[in-house]
Amino acid sequence: KKLAVFVSGGGSNFRSIHEAAIQGSVHGDVVVLVTNKPGCGGAGYARDNAIPVILSPRTKDVSDGLSSTDLVTALRRFEVDFILLAGYLKLISVELIRAYPRSILNIHPSLLPSFGGKGYYGMKVHKAVIASGARYSGPTVHFVDEHYDTGRILAQRVVPVLANDTAEELAARVLHEEHRLYVEVTAALCEERIIWREDGVPLIQNRE
């Protein structure tokens, strides 16, 4: 399968998926990287690894970025099967969602539906978890719909929140699980091991 990864930041999830694809535990190829931040770590990693980089959307900072229509055209040209959002901080266009039904995933660093939605990104998520007194957190992988963090939940992992955690310590513990979870889910996606329950809930089947 052909994968497009979307990033705005450091790109450690992108890197772990790309490494898994090269090493063979994910039966797919990252064929293109999409970013709204051409100078971000993820874009640098793509360039170092000869992965084409597309800038999108067009903004005043990214004046050579692609519009949503042109982005769909470009992804089609790369024959992209699945889109993985990995720290991409822009809302995905309705056009893209319609062009890739049930084919766009996002990873979020909390146990959705808690601590999700607009405003919950980066350290803000982990600060809010700690302030709430919640004893557990962890990443969620979900399908993407037209809003922030509300699409169908596909997979989650639990990590403890320790009594004296800083947001940075909790973030590192969650991120470690993100890397494992996103690779496992991407492997399932590429092997067509995702099935949809009648009520619209997606489930991952184990390998035979």
User: Is residue 17 at the binding interface for ligand GRF, with CB under 6 A as the rule?
Assistant: no
User: Is residue 86 at the binding interface for ligand GRF, with CB under 6 A as the rule?
Assistant: yes
User: Is residue 65 at the binding interface for ligand GRF, with CB under 6 A as the rule?
Assistant: no
Considering beta carbons, is residue 76 or 147 the nearer one to ligand GRF? 147
The answer to whether the CB of 40 falls within 8 A of the CB of 11 is: yes
The answer to whether the CB of 3 falls within 8 A of the CB of 186 is: yes
Considering beta carbons, is residue 48 or 199 the nearer one to ligand GRF? 48
> For the chain, how big is the Rg over CA atoms in Å?
16
Separation of alpha carbons 203 and 155, rounded Å? 8
Considering beta carbons, is residue 97 or 107 the nearer one to ligand GRF? 107
Listed in sequence order, the residues at least 6 apart from 87 whose beta carbon sits closer than 8 Å to its beta carbon are 7, 8, 9, 10, 11, 13, 14, 42, 107
Residue 20 sits at φ, ψ, to 5 deg, of: -65, -35
Separation of alpha carbons 74 and 54, rounded Å? 9
User: Is residue 10 at the binding interface for ligand GRF, with CB under 6 A as the rule?
Assistant: yes
The answer to whether the CB of 14 falls within 8 A of the CB of 5 is: yes
The amino acid present at 115, given as its one-letter code, is F
Among 3, 4, 11, 18, binds ligand GRF (CB under 6 A): 11
Catalytic residue among 18, 108, 126, 142: 108
Q: Which span (3-11, 62-70, 161-169, 191-199) binds ligand GRF, by CB under 6 A?
A: 3-11
- Identify whether 142 is a catalytic site residue: no
Considering beta carbons, is residue 65 or 109 the nearer one to ligand GRF? 109
Q: How many residues bind ligand GRF (CB under 6 A)?
A: 16
Output the six-digit token pair for 150: 């509300």
User: Is residue 149 at the binding interface for ligand GRF, with CB under 6 A as the rule?
Assistant: no
User: Is residue 178 at the binding interface for ligand GRF, with CB under 6 A as the rule?
Assistant: yes
The residues carrying an active-site annotation are: 108
Which positions lie near ligand GRF, rule CB under 6 A?
7, 9-14, 42, 86-87, 107-109, 139, 175, 178
